[in-house]
Structure 1
Amino acid sequence: MLLHIIARGKIGRSAEAELTERYLKRIAWKTRVTELPDRGGRVPDPAANAVTIVLDERGKPLSSVAFAKLLEGWRDTGRREARFLIGAADGHEEQLRDKADLLMSFGPATWPHMLARAMLAEQLFRAVSILDNHPYHRDG
């Protein structure tokens, strides 16, 4: 399954970009990052049988293990792509949130959208590590 991060804003050459890339390189599954301008631009069409996850402050907070189980379920039911949408500073349009298969949150705090990329990349690496029984994640 392809793990596809679709994010608003250009991350450029920054500490957040380096951290994001460090985690994405460690993921055993295929990954892709698509950057869009802060406003406008077209969200790429999903692959057939894709699942769309929108990161949103009103979304559901998930533990790392619960997140890994979701990825496992999507993978095992033949989902070809998991699309993770990260908005710009003003978040997402209501229409995009309404179309999402899952609204996901990193908790009640407000996070800079560039840092959210690194946090998502780390959680994707952690989830795949959990599924591969890699010792990176330590429960409890």
Structure 2
Amino acid sequence: MKLILAAVLARQFRSKSEAGDRLIDEYMKRTARYATCTSELFDSEAGLLTWLDRQAGRTPAYALLLDSRGQQYSSDEFAGQIGRLRDEGTQRLVLAIGPADGWSPAARQRADLLLSLGRMTLPHQLARVVLAEQVYRAFTILAGHPYHSGH
């Protein structure tokens, strides 16, 4: 399974947060022990959706969009969802953070799953860090690694 952490973030609003970028890179590097993991940034929702539909493979990319109206999971439940997708043969899992004003109805319709990190609104960079960490945590849970330890 290949994981793509995507975000819609106009260039003028992209932070030069070295700390946030270092954390995202660190969690992606850790996740790479279990699965290929890359990051993509898009200027617009339309750009992301076009890119998503052009992903080559036997099956369409599975689109997990972060949305405040999405389903909330515990870390264990999130790991279970990723494990099921992996075991069912999902080739590409795209986990995407949407534009500042939220996903359009068309994007929500395209989503295979809407996921909420919680009811609080997070800045994009922080949401990207939280998502990257939770993806890493999910794979450690699936592997029985002590990183999670049931907390």
Shift of 1:41: 2.9
The residue aligned with 1:8 is 8
Question: Can you give the 5+ residue segments of structure 1 that lack an aligned partner in the other structure?
Answer: none
Identity, % of aligned pairs? 37
Could you tell me whether the CA contact under 8 Å between 2:8 and 2:48 is conserved in 1?
A: no
After TM superposition, the score normalised by the length of structure 2 is 0.85
Structure having the higher helix fraction is: 2
The count of aligned residue pairs is 140
Q: Find the aligned partners of 2:123 and 2:47 in 1 and give their Cα distance.
A: 20
Q: 1:112 to 1:23 in 2, by over 3 A?
A: same
Q: After the TM superposition, which residues 117-136 of structure 1 pair with which residues of structure 2 at under 5 Å, given as runs?
A: 117-136=128-147
For 2:83, the aligned partner's letter is E
The residue aligned with 2:43 is 37
Q: 1:96 to 1:59 in 2, by over 3 A?
A: same
SS at match of 2:96: strand
Q: Find the aligned partners of 2:120 and 2:22 in 1 and give their Cα distance.
A: 23
Q: After the TM superposition, which residues 1-140 of structure 1 pair with which residues of structure 2 at under 5 Å, given as runs?
A: 1-9=1-9, 10-27=14-31, 28=33, 29-38=35-44, 41-43=47-49, 44=51, 45-48=54-57, 49=59, 50-140=61-151
Q: Find the aligned partners of 2:134 and 2:99 in 1 and give their Cα distance.
A: 20
After TM superposition, the score normalised by the length of structure 1 is 0.91
For 2:7, the aligned partner's letter is A
